[in-house]
Amino acid sequence: MYPDYIELLMGYKLDGVRKHHHMPPPEVLLEGTKANKGYIDAIDALTINSIERERLEKAELTSKIKSQEDIKQDLAKIKNENKSLQNQIHLIIESMQKRNGMKTEYQKKFLVSDFKKMGMYFPPR
């Protein structure tokens, strides 16, 4: 909004040459021009309206809830992928045991500890 419009709307008198050469009609003060906005455009920013505030809070909370739901979905997807990888590792271990004839419990624990060192811990079946 044009600074002179603000002063006029606040009830101030323009000083100097401005008071004689710049006196916009009331319609211009309210509605503004193409170059400068008027009071009507500034009402939302200047007014404390509980309905508007509640609408903004609701929109903000809705977006937070949506992002939380997205995070929950991503977490569920990661858990499913993790479970699938754990099952694949168990199948690999079982196939290696069958192929290599790993019969002792010590050999099984050794193989599992190698997977743990690589950061792939999984609970035993």
What mean pLDDT value characterizes the chain?
A: 78
Q: Provide the pLDDT confidence category of residue 100 given band limits of 50, 70 and 90.
A: low
35-84 per-position pLDDT tens digit = 878 878 777 777 777 787 788 889 999 999 999 999 999 999 999 999 99
What pLDDT, on the 0 to 100 scale, is given for residue 48? Answer: 74
Question: What is the distance between the alpha carbons of residues 18 and 122, in angstroms, rounded to a whole number?
Answer: 79
Give me 50's structure tokens. Answer: 């509980």
What gap in Å lies between CA 29 and CA 40, rounded to an integer?
9
The gap between the terminal CA atoms of the chain, to the nearest Å, is 71
